[in-house]
Structure 1
Amino acid sequence: MNNHHNVFISYHHKNDEAYKVEFERLFSDVYDILETRAVSDGDIDPYIQTETIRQKIRDHFIRSASVTVVLIGSETWKRKHVDWEISSSIRDTQQNSRTGLIGIILPTYPRSDTSKYSGNTIPPRLKDNIDCKFAKIYNWSDDPLKVQQWIHEAFNRRKKINPDNSREMFGKNRSTSTWS
């Protein structure tokens, strides 16, 4: 499969940096990995309108991504920046069309059965988009062909299925054990 995509990685920086680095190591010869630390507290005025925040993130931080990969560890769903990045990446702007979207569950995600996950401990906006079939979720794999296929399928889906971006954006990080 010779399908080149620009991939944006959304993840919990503090907990899951090692997996982001491993993802880059495994796939950077296949994809242009667009990962940014730019979206952090203080970068975007929290008092501007939600639409403006989404557009700024899409046009300034995620820019030319064609697929967004959310790496899901134990606390990823709690992070407002992950929510903002998902929200921003699945919307069309004048400068950039929406990206495809997949979630990859990391080995650090707490569960006893790796064939299952809890919908209320993954990012809620990702769950909305799995439910409407815009996004898919997978277990971590270091098989390049498998991951390339996931990314290419997400790229193709992005024009065929409308995403669900109706959920209100996180105002701050969450601290509860689940989101619902």
Structure 2
Amino acid sequence: MGRRHNVFVSYHHENDQSYRNEFEQCFSHCYDIMVSKSVQLGDIAPNLKTETIRRKIRDEYLRDSTVLVVLIGKDTWKRKYIDWEISSSIRDTQYNSRMGLIGILLPSHPDYGKKTYNPYTIPPRLQDNVEKGFAKIYNWTMNKNCVQDWIHEAFNRRYNIIPDNSRTLFRNNRSFYQWQWQD
């Protein structure tokens, strides 16, 4: 088939675990579209130093992945680990080449199913790259052909467009209802 990719799934563990499980079950197990590489709850000790956590994400969990899929629920944009995963995924490093990047609006996101979305409720670094043309955002679907095409297109875009990784990394999780108020 030649269109199967190693996919790292980035998501808000507390709010969106069930969507991540469904996504992986459907597209990794049933349809064999991807090999899932996401961090599971408890994989990284929260008491580690920030730089150690960032390095583990980059060098252990993202290693060998070719596309990052961000599952976007209502609070996903607030999570520092998601920001770090996006940042690491779009860099070329000693251990990892640049990954493709897509976002999928979950049914739990207020703009799911609408023609447009509020860009300030999307992870900021992901939105920067949508505006740059490096990433795209789609609505949640269980259609295997759509998801396979999205992942493959992101894989192909990863070296055709230079990503924007200029934003300062989150130091902490965010609060508020959209990020324009905090940046």
Query: Structure 2-normalised TM-score?
Result: 0.90
Q: Which runs of 5+ in 2 are unaligned?
A: none
What letter matches 1:42 in structure 2?
N
Secondary structure of the structure 2 residue equivalent to 1:120 = helix
What letter matches 2:37 in structure 1?
L
Is the contact between residue 39 and residue 61 of structure 1 (CA under 8 Å) also seen in structure 2?
no
Q: Which deviates more from structure 2 when the two are superposed, residues 24-33 or residues 66-75?
A: 24-33
Query: How far apart, in 1, do the equivalents of 2:5 and 2:57 lie?
Result: 19
Distance 1:139 1:113, change over 3 A: closer
Secondary structure of the structure 2 residue equivalent to 1:70 = strand
The CA deviation string for residues 10-30 of structure 1, in whole angstroms up to 9 with x for no partner, is 000000001001101110122
Query: Structure 1-normalised TM-score?
Result: 0.91
Identity of aligned residues (%): 56
Distance 1:168 1:133, change over 3 A: same
What letter matches 2:22 in structure 1?
E
Secondary structure of the structure 2 residue equivalent to 1:42 = coil
What letter matches 2:130 in structure 1?
I
Secondary structure of the structure 1 residue equivalent to 2:173 = coil
Partner of 1:71: 71
Query: How far apart, in 2, do the equivalents of 1:58 and 1:75 lie?
Result: 23
Partner of 2:35: 32
Distance 1:39 1:127, change over 3 A: farther
**Residue in structure 2 matching 1:42, options 47, 52, 58:** 47
Query: How far apart, in 2, do the equivalents of 1:112 and 1:80 lie?
Result: 22
Is the contact between residue 112 and residue 139 of structure 2 (CA under 8 Å) also seen in structure 1?
no
Partner of 2:142: 142
Q: CA RMSD of the aligned region, Å?
A: 1.7
Residues paired across the two proteins, number: 175
Q: Runs of at least 4 residues of structure 1 off by over 6 A?
A: none
- CA-CA distance at 1:115 after TM superposition: 1.4
Query: How far apart, in 1, do the equivalents of 2:45 and 2:89 lie?
Result: 16
Q: Which runs of 5+ in 1 are unaligned?
A: none
Partner of 2:114: 114
